[in-house]
Structure 1
């Protein structure tokens, strides 16, 4: 039966495997610390969700739902913020990031994009901000879009875990059915 106990269990396990896989991919990319933290948190939550789904453990599934919903709220907020940032705000954030990175990173960016820091008067290249503006905008939109997609899959996982948690296990046998209690008259 589609949507039954086994289907919900398998869907929840598959969704958590997807989360583990996406978390492992995200930790290899040089990305924003907040996204990395969400990836690490998501991998831990996914392990909890898989264990709860395999065992049909009520407490694990409850904490999985609560923590995943809180992660949904954070990730949804960050994704909306990434999509709502205008070009002036992007430029301000890029300048703040540029001022915080070390000289090696700055040199690498300048070599890769054939640009130079606007403070460097010896440079005859275009300023880096002009060359990186489109890439920065693309990165914000990409992070926002991916974050929005995964936040809605997290909301779906919360709904699925709640549904699965409330379904009775068809393979569960009552303890007294295995060892029937004898009725003794005293």
Structure 2
């Protein structure tokens, strides 16, 4: 069977959906690690990336099943949903790459100010840091955070602020999420194209008298 026939489209679509599954898992893991490190939930872009990863993982499973069974209805809904995922993923990826450090500082500062003292202490202990960012807080608030800080690094001369650590991790997470998401979002157009052509192929093993 030459490439471009039924088997070629089937194998290509199955392979592409396996890649989508891996990309979905990668987006979920990187986004979750970013939030777990202290990238607070006010950065809603991270939540959007997790949603994209989950939807991409689910739609890849549907695509794999529909490709293996040449299921007409599932392939149709697969094309529609995958195109919608492309639009959402493209927008979220661009937002990840476009957010500036200044905007990240504002989001972190707003959330830090709403935290209770117990929550701040927990963040400082988990990240081994003290305070947020000196330039974003009043000198009294920053001094109070330093005085109450229980982190082990306080006893050394190399104690970083929590803002520096969180922003470094945020920049790393957003660059990976934005780059990977943007690159693979264009392959989803390829997935829609493959599914459309594969859906119109005649299964050589099927009864010749049956419809597509």
TM-score, with normalisation over the residues of structure 2? 0.70
Structure 1 residue 15 corresponds to structure 2 residue 23: no
Instruction: Give the aligned partner of residue 167 of structure 1.
Output: 201
SS at match of 2:205: coil
Assess if the C-alpha contact under 8 Å between 2:130 and 2:146 holds in 1. Answer: no
TM-fit CA distance, 1:75:
0.5
Flag the 1:170–1:38 CA change in 2: closer, same or farther, 3 A: same
Structure 1 CA distance for aligned equivalents of residues 69 and 209 of structure 2: 17
Shift of 1:6: 0.7
| Matched length | 176
* Stretches (4+) displaced over 6 A: 100-105
| Corresponding residue for residue 137 of structure 1 | 171
Q: Which runs of 5+ in 1 are unaligned?
A: 177-186
Between 1:19-28 and 1:58-67, the stretch displaced more is: 19-28
RMSD: 2.7
Which structure's CA Rg is the greater one? Answer: 1
- In structure 1, the residue matched to 2:86 is 72
Distance 1:10 1:100 in 2: 52
Structure 1 residue 38 corresponds to structure 2 residue 52 = yes
Cα offsets for 1:1-53 (capped at 9, x unmatched) = 12322111011112212223443455454353322222222222122211221
Matched with 1:150 is 184
Any stretches of 5+ residues in structure 2 without a counterpart? Answer: 36-45, 133-140
Aligned to 2:5: 4
Q: TM-score, normalised by structure 1?
A: 0.78
Distance in 2, matches of 1:150 and 1:68, equals: 12
For residues 112 and 62 of structure 1, do their structure 2 counterparts lie closer, same or farther at Cα, with a shift above 3 Å needed?
A: same
